[in-house]
């Protein structure tokens, strides 16, 4: 049983299979690949240039943003404590 699991041939990833399907005439695979190309081109056009920050600076900025968000209480998470009365003591 273990030998059968080891002899399995790994399948190509999704995009490779889609490319193969498009080459074989699958119109839906070709349309999907074309839309992915268009999305990539739009993203490159909208990008104003490379980010001048290094990866370490980006990571530090992300960490500081997370800390800042963690310190801000959300209005729905504010705990409201009812006032105590003399009989509660």
pLDDT tens-digit map of 9-44: 677 788 888 888 989 998 898 888 888 887 766 766
Query: Which band of pLDDT confidence, cut at 50, 70 and 90, is reported for residue 7?
Result: low
Q: Is the pTM for the entire model greater than 0.75? A: no
pLDDT at 2 over 60: no
pLDDT at position 83: 77
Confidence of residue 53 (pLDDT cuts 50, 70, 90): confident
Q: Are 13 and 5 in contact (CB under 8 A)?
A: no
Cβ neighbours of residue 22 closer than 8 Å, sequence gap 6 or more: 29, 30, 33
């Amino acid at each position: 049983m273990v030998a059968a699991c080891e002899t399995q041939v790994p399948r190509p990833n999704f995009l490779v299979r889609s490319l193969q399907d498009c080459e074989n005439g699958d119109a839906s695979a070709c349309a999907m690949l074309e839309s992915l190309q268009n999305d990539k081109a739009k993203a490159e056009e909208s990008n104003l240039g490379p980010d001048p920050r290094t990866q370490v600076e980006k990571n530090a900025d992300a960490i500081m943003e997370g800390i800042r968000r963690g310190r801000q209480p959300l209005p729905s998470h504010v705990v409201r404590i009812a006032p105590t009365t003399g009989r509660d003591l």
